[in-house]
Amino acid sequence: MTVKLVVVGGGSSYTPEIIEGIIRRHDSFPVTDIVLVDIEAGKEKLEIIGNLAQRMIEKSNKPINLSWTLDRREALKQADFVSTQIRVGGLAARSKDERIPLSHGFIGQETNGAGGIFKAFRTIPVLLDLAKDVHEICPNAWIINFTNPAGIVTEALLKHSPHKKVIGVCNIPYNMRHSTAEILDADPNDVLIEFIGMNHFVFGKKVYVNGIDRTKEVLEKLSGDLDYSPANIVNLGWSKTFIEATGLLPNPYHQYYFQTKEVLEKDVKAFKENGTRAEVVQNLETSLFNIYSNPSLYEKPKELEERGGAFYSDVACSLMDSIYNNKQDVQTVNTINNGAIPDLPEDAVIEVNCMITNNGPKPISVGALPHTVKGHIYQMKAFEELVIRASISGDYNDAYTAMVMNPLLANEKGSKVVLDELLEAHKSYLPQFKSRGN
């Protein structure tokens, strides 16, 4: 019996982490075949990653067949798991997602605001195409999506692709759990956070350690300068009042919504000094690939952890392990609501604790949204629907509505200016958008 994993976007700098995760879990989750797939433009990086991965596997002595290719359809044959970690347009596109909104006084960020909207616009058609291939070539395979904006992309796939075995993952819940464990001086494996909301807009509602409710303690310790951000965003900390009044654990991305002015000032300053975050990352990437190219490197280098997405792949490997073994353990993933949050649409994708089985994640009911944030969560979900609608329709008005209804853009004229510039800047990656509005 074989267990085959196809890594779409295999030339990504994150791949060594996923290889390491697979090696580490090999006793319980015996992957036999890994194929790294990428596109022509990523050929060179794919080669570097492929060779590093090969060295890592050799050193591990695990019986894993590794190959890499540009032929996606060929790679998908008999796949059991397909992980997706792509970046349509690369860091150059991300740089525009950041630069253009910032230049008009709006948050310019990879997954939030205008940047996140355009990342979705570029990504959704490509992944719908992949899902079509998967459905045709390896219909039993699970797609484990960690391409951002992970929640929106997962909802788009589940609503608009025939392939229904799609799960989205993110490292934010993982990071929140680990930071919370640190705060409480507990083992992360003993910590269970009850999450409520969507990817990058998720809150922690309850924190249990071995089933004991320690939420209050966490909230008290949380206010102040504590930082439990992923490396890619620097957290400004939260005031005692905000934490106490909402009664919830925010996630680091909430700063964009509740500290907009301060973040914007900081980001504009950073932009002026160092360029966009994409450009910073570009440098990081260059040096990472230099390290990766070293033929005497046989393991995931420490430097990778400085990239924001650390632990993404670990989360994905854990998930695949639990699916494969029908573990029925609890993991936090992006999947269809199905009533777990009764205030949100049943077919919405939410980020939620699930029991993981080999027929997929089964959400554990969360109950009604807390009154303090229910308006915002509902609004963000409605906004996400607008983004998906526009990603599919390619309609200018749909795109405009998604922009103007996003709380970080909510300006009649400004939204249009940013929209028009981004549509122009990314036009080669947005074939679905025909008209440019009026």
**Does 394 help bind a second copy (rule: CB under 8 A)?**
no
User: Residue 27: helix, strand or coil by DSSP?
Assistant: coil
Nearest to 276 by CA among 123, 425, 84, 127: 425
Alpha carbon distance 106, 103 (integer Å): 7
**Does 389 help bind a second copy (rule: CB under 8 A)?**
yes
What sign has the CA pseudo-torsion 26, 28, 33, 37? negative
Of residues 98-157, those binding a second copy (CB under 8 A): 105
Alpha carbon distance 32, 1 (integer Å): 9
Residue selected from 376, 391, 425, 426 as contacting a second copy according to rule CB under 8 A = 376
Of residues 65-104, those binding a second copy (CB under 8 A): none
**Does 338 help bind a second copy (rule: CB under 8 A)?**
yes
If the CB atoms of residues 24 and 374 are measured against a second copy, the closer one turns out to be 374
Q: Which stretch binds a second copy (CB under 8 A): 34-42, 119-127, 266-274, 340-348?
A: 340-348
If the CB atoms of residues 65 and 365 are measured against a second copy, the closer one turns out to be 365
Residue selected from 41, 92, 234, 368 as contacting a second copy according to rule CB under 8 A = 368
Q: Does 200 count as an annotated binding residue?
A: yes
**Does 401 help bind a second copy (rule: CB under 8 A)?**
yes
What token pair was written down for 390?
Answer: 């526009």
Of residues 18-37, those binding a second copy (CB under 8 A): none
**Does 367 help bind a second copy (rule: CB under 8 A)?**
yes
**Does 339 help bind a second copy (rule: CB under 8 A)?**
yes
Catalytic annotation on 400? Answer: no
**Under 8 Å CB-to-CB from 69, ≥6 apart: which residues?**
35, 36, 37, 75
If the CB atoms of residues 32 and 260 are measured against a second copy, the closer one turns out to be 260
What token pair was written down for 144?
Answer: 């484990």
Of residues 298-327, those binding a second copy (CB under 8 A): 326
**Does 234 help bind a second copy (rule: CB under 8 A)?**
no
Q: Does 135 count as an annotated binding residue?
A: no
**Does 329 help bind a second copy (rule: CB under 8 A)?**
yes
The owner of tokens 């050193």 is 59
Residue selected from 341, 348, 422, 430 as contacting a second copy according to rule CB under 8 A = 341
If the CB atoms of residues 287 and 358 are measured against a second copy, the closer one turns out to be 358
**Does 411 help bind a second copy (rule: CB under 8 A)?**
yes
Measuring CA to CA, how many Å separate 261 from each of 9, 236, 254, 300?
A: 35, 12, 13, 38
**Under 8 Å CB-to-CB from 24, ≥6 apart: which residues?**
317
What token pair was written down for 389?
Answer: 């609608």
Alpha carbon distance 213, 190 (integer Å): 12
Cα angle 408, 252, 261; round to 5: 40
Q: Does 148 count as an annotated binding residue?
A: yes
Alpha carbon distance 170, 334 (integer Å): 8
Q: Which stretch binds a second copy (CB under 8 A): 130-138, 277-285, 310-318, 412-420?
A: 412-420
User: Residue 33: helix, strand or coil by DSSP?
Assistant: strand
**Does 374 help bind a second copy (rule: CB under 8 A)?**
yes
Residue selected from 3, 159, 242, 298 as contacting a second copy according to rule CB under 8 A = 242
**Does 188 help bind a second copy (rule: CB under 8 A)?**
no
If the CB atoms of residues 158 and 192 are measured against a second copy, the closer one turns out to be 192
Q: Taking the C-alpha atoms of 390, 396, 402 and 404 in order, what is their torsion angle to the nearest 10 degrees?
A: 180
State which amino acid sits at residue 438: N
Q: Of these residues, 253, 256, 292, 324, which one is catalytic?
A: 253
Residue 329's Cβ-count burial label (10 Å; 0-12, 13-18, 19+) is: middle
For residue 180, the minimal CB distance to a second copy (Å) is 16
If the CB atoms of residues 62 and 104 are measured against a second copy, the closer one turns out to be 104
Q: Does 170 count as an annotated binding residue?
A: yes
Neighbours of 200 (CB within 10 A): 24
Point out the residues that are catalytic.
Answer: 253
What residue numbers does the annotated binding site for substrate cover? 94, 148
